[in-house]
Amino acid sequence: MFDKARSDEISQSLLGMQFRIGGRGDDGTIDCYGVLKIYFKEFDLKLPDYSYVEDWCGQTELYLQEYSKFFRKLDKDKDEELEIGDMILFSREENTSHAGIYLGESKFIHSYQKAGTRIDSLTNPVWKAKIFGFFRVRETDCARAHNKGI
């Protein structure tokens, strides 16, 4: 579903943007959810525009319920391999607190306060220890209808 060349092109356009909570790229700033919105929009998947508070602040169950319309969690027991375009959620304690997009070869793009938008490795112990789960875009009637504005 996600072409590597197009994925790399989108990622390159986001690199270096400064981090700002609620940033969606229009003013040169972006947060981790802004990375998701811009990336997936380029592949015709329009995610709802939630704020930081609605997305991350102790709302993990609600967040996952809402996003189950668009993504399915990869099953560790089935040894599903990561694919370009898979969403990665990271956690702090028991709540999701950060997100990124898998680019292949253990790399992911994200934006965070200390460094802005960048590509990091999932093998980095800091990020590896915080992985909450991996999620793949699902092709559902609900997602298609949402994208058509129904």
Burial class (CB in 10 A: 0-12, 13-18, 19+), 79: exposed
Mode of pairing for the β-strands spanning 29-30 and 18-19: parallel
Confidence at 22, pLDDT banded by 50, 70, 90: confident
Q: Which two tokens stand for residue 137?
A: 């875009």
The pTM (predicted TM-score) of the whole model is: 0.85
Q: Can you tell me the distance from the alpha carbon of 73 to that of 94, in angstroms, rounded to the nearest whole number?
A: 17
Q: Does residue 92 surpass a pLDDT of 80?
A: no
47, 40 contact by CB (below 8 A): yes
Tell me the per-residue pLDDT of 56-83, one tens digit each, with 9 for 90 and over: 455 667 667 777 788 998 987 777 899 9
Residue 108: partners with Cβ closer than 8 Å, 6 or more residues away:
88, 100, 101, 102, 119, 120, 121, 122, 127
pLDDT of residue 63: 67
Q: With the C-alpha atoms ordered 130, 101, 62, 59, is the resulting torsion angle positive or negative?
A: positive
Amino acid at site 119: I
Confidence at 50, pLDDT banded by 50, 70, 90: low
Provide CATH code, domain 4-147. 3.90.1720.10
Residues 21-35 have a mean pLDDT of 91
Residue with tokens 């811009």: 38
CA distances from 129 to 4, 8, 22, 132, 147 (A): 26, 25, 25, 9, 34
